[in-house]
Chain A
Amino acid sequence: MSVKLTTRQVGDVTVVDAVGRITLGEGASTFRDTIRDLAAGGHKKLLLNLAEISYIDSSGIGELVSGFTTVANQGGVVKLLNLTKRVQDLLQITKLYTVFEVHDDEAKAVQSFK
């Protein structure tokens, strides 16, 4: 299974619910295209809900970072929500915990954009 991304609005925050695997190939390109489309559509507050992401490889991590910079370059912010232990470990190993703001409560995460 590749990745399935669903977006919903909570106030002015766009929540992206991701399910599946973000790996080189279809998963990473679907993720990249979705984030770019959202950024191009003027969505400046993105909250990526990764609770249902079972697997992410270095290409997937690369897409997270690229998404972060793409949105930031347009004056927006990307934050992460509900990381699994495995994704948390990956962010620790790659030091990306220092880059991303990570939340485990959606309501508080949405509030943090205010």
Chain B
Amino acid sequence: MADQKGMEAHTLEHVLESTLESVDGAEETVLKEAEHLGFDEDDLHKIGISLRECMVNAVVHGNRYNRRKKVHLKVIRTADCLTIVVGDEGDGFDPAALPDPLAGENLLRGSGRGVMLMQAFMDEFQISKREPQGTEVKMVKCKAKTE
């Protein structure tokens, strides 16, 4: 498939173990693609941290480190944008039920800030149910337009 500039999209797909080592490996893979696309240091940091948060959620909260469950990573690079899709095989969850980490009563909680960081750092962020089982997160980051 070609993007608006006529450049073929470059797609990578990996099926990963539910381990923290997979988080490091996925970060390396995604950052390599992001560097290839030409993101600046600041955006690379935002993409890296978002990917880590997403992978950690899939491994820890989705698959609960279950060796039989896999994490599905898809990275699509076009001329201007990087799309990252992370799927787990967990029981799924209701995003609307997540506590607001900025509410006064939650400020001192030790967890619950990952989704907020991904939303803040990426241009697009979507959570959906993965078929046949689990949760899928799609995140998009595009290069800033230069005049």
Find out whether the CB atom of B53 lies under 8 angstroms from the CB atom of A57: yes
| Chain A residues touching B, range | 20 to 34
With A24-B20, A24-B56, A94-B101 already in contact, the answer to whether A63 and B110 are too (CB < 8 A) is yes
Q: Which of B7-15, B83-91, B114-122 contacts A (4 or more CB under 8 A)?
A: B114-122
B77: interface (CB < 8 Å): no
A62: interface (CB < 8 Å): yes
Main secondary structure of the interface of A (DSSP, over half): helix
Q: How far is the CB of A95 from chain B (nearest CB, A)?
A: 5
Find out whether the CB atom of A65 lies under 8 angstroms from the CB atom of B110: yes
Find out whether the CB atom of B117 lies under 8 angstroms from the CB atom of A90: yes
B111: interface (CB < 8 Å): yes
Q: Quick one: CB contact mask for B17-31 with A, threshold 8 Å, 1 for yes? A: 000100100000000
Bound Cα distance from A16 to B107, whole angstroms: 23
Chain A residues closer than 8 Å to B144, beta-carbon distance: none
Chain A, range 67-93, C-beta contacts under 8 Å to B: 68-69, 86, 90, 93
Q: How far is the CB of B36 from chain A (nearest CB, A)?
A: 21
Bound Cα distance from A86 to B46, whole angstroms: 9
A23: interface (CB < 8 Å): yes
User: Among A23, A58, A96, A99, which residue has its beta carbon within 8 angstroms of that of B117?
Assistant: A58
16 contacts between A and B (CB under 8 A): A24-B23, A24-B52, A55-B45, A58-B111, A58-B112, A58-B113, A58-B114, A62-B110, A62-B111, A65-B109, A66-B110, A68-B108, A93-B116, A95-B107, A98-B107, A99-B108
Q: Give the A-binding residues of B (Cβ under 8 A).
A: 20, 23, 45, 48-49, 52-53, 56, 60, 101-102, 107-114, 116-117, 120
Q: Give the B-binding residues of A (Cβ under 8 A).
A: 23-25, 55, 57-59, 61-63, 65-66, 68-69, 86, 90, 93-96, 98-99
Besides A58-B53, A58-B114, A69-B108, 14 other A-B contacts (C-beta < 8 A): A24-B56, A25-B20, A55-B48, A55-B49, A57-B117, A58-B112, A58-B113, A62-B109, A62-B111, A65-B109, A68-B108, A86-B45, A94-B113, A94-B117
